[in-house]
Amino acid sequence: MFKNLLIISLAVLTIASCTKPVKNQFIITGTADTSFDGYVLLQKRTDGPLITIDSMLLTSGKFNFKGTVDYPEVYYLTVPGTKSSIPFFIEPAEIKFTVNTKDVNKTRIEGSKTQTEYDAYLDMLDQFNTKIRESYQMSMKAQEIGDEAKAREFDSLTNVYDQQRGDFSKNYVMQNPKSFTVPYIAYRNSWNYDMNELEKALGSFDTTLNHSIYTGYLQEYLKTLKRTEVGMLYVSFMMQDSTGQYFPIADLIGKGYLLLDFWASWCSPCREENPNLVAMYNKYHDKGFNILGVSLDSMRPRWLQAIKDDQLNWYHVSDLEGWANKAAKLYGVRSIPANFLIDTNGYIIGKNLRGEELQAKLAELFPEAQQASRR
């Protein structure tokens, strides 16, 4: 009898061990309103294209995934019949998808607490997005009928709303220091942070957010900003120039003041600033002022045509990798136009100087040119 009891006990223990919940398990179930056959992809992004973590054959419009994840992180769901991937916060939970393939923005995601928080943030952000879209459309209409004054007025309004949107995101980050949405929001908007703002934001995070991969990304970005702050020695790099030859930035250090200018042919604000750069280059080049243009283009013909059209008669380099440009990463450039003014000893003495700011700084550096122009 005791032997039978032992066997029964062991069987119960075996069943219990087989049904024990997996630590940090996520379970994704979903339905999609699609007649397309194929695989649903569960993907994530590290530093580049999306990487497929798992795939599941879509059966009668249904799919499911199981796995483990330690802390909330943004994954992507790609469903046959859709032209874009659906980002969402994955976490240890049962997450349900109701995919709208005609409009993925209408996809319902339930079960992820972090995703629910992020959706609420996006709803609040949309009030600014709506205003930005409306003022931009009004500017376009004004331009179409030739009303330049009205177009400038709406452009100015668009900039105001854009600033308000950025301020809202920064305030949200500071006011929600325990939410796992916050490192991701700050990371997505990192281009809008200067060094001090980013350091303050990271300092406000609850210690639990140290587990977020986006906190790690932000910490690395902060190191880059500190390494390229005013007063720091320039960061060296070498890249192919417009003729295909490798050109090192070091060749221009010590030969006068150097403006390291990050731009692209597709960047309207960059192209608008180019006439000012041309004027400054023509005025001060003989006095010891150089420019090295680093293009974030990915198409060589467009890059070269923009150089010709805008008459940018200075040094140019690009690796044609777009936002993955290696020099841009070294200098922490996440929005353009961006520039760094480097002195004759190789130290950064100015950042993001444009228009009148750049004119004033160069006038300060080349007073003799100002005196000559007054004679």
- Identify the DSSP state of 85: -
pLDDT value of position 82: 80
Q: For residue 371, what pLDDT band results from cuts at 50, 70 and 90?
A: low
pLDDT over threshold 70, residue 156: yes
Over residues 258-285, mean pLDDT:
97
Which CATH number is correct for 238-370, 3.40.50.150, 3.40.50.300, 3.40.50.880, 3.40.30.10? 3.40.30.10
pLDDT over threshold 50, residue 12: no
Q: For residue 10, what pLDDT band results from cuts at 50, 70 and 90?
A: very low
Least confident of 104-118, 203-217, 280-294, 357-371: 357-371
Partners of residue 339 on adjacent β-strands = 261
Please state the pTM of the whole predicted model.
0.85
Q: For residue 348, what pLDDT band results from cuts at 50, 70 and 90?
A: very high
Question: What proportion of the chain, given as a percentage, has pLDDT over 90?
Answer: 77
The answer to whether the CB of 227 falls within 8 A of the CB of 331 is no
Over residues 97-125, mean pLDDT:
93
298-322 tens-digit pLDDT: 999 999 999 999 999 999 999 999 9
Other C-beta atoms closer than 10 Å to the C-beta of 67 total 16
Over residues 25-41, mean pLDDT:
89
Q: For residue 143, what pLDDT band results from cuts at 50, 70 and 90?
A: confident
The answer to whether the CB of 237 falls within 8 A of the CB of 327 is yes
pLDDT value of position 3: 41
pLDDT over threshold 80, residue 370: no
pLDDT over threshold 60, residue 13: no
Q: For residue 5, what pLDDT band results from cuts at 50, 70 and 90?
A: very low
Tokens describing residue 135: 């003022």
Distance CA 188, CA 195 (A): 16
Domain with CATH 3.40.30.10 in the chain: 238-370
Domain with CATH 2.60.40.10 in the chain: 23-111
pLDDT value of position 17: 44
Query: What average pLDDT does the chain have?
Result: 90
The helix, strand and coil proportions of the chain, stated in percent and rounded to the nearest 5, come to 50, 25, 30
pLDDT over threshold 60, residue 106: yes
pLDDT over threshold 80, residue 22: no
Distance CA 204, CA 209 (A): 10
Over residues 91-120, mean pLDDT:
94
Distance CA 263, CA 302 (A): 13
Regarding the domain with residue range 23-111, which homologous superfamily does it belong to in the CATH classification?
A: Immunoglobulins (2.60.40.10)
pLDDT over threshold 60, residue 36: yes
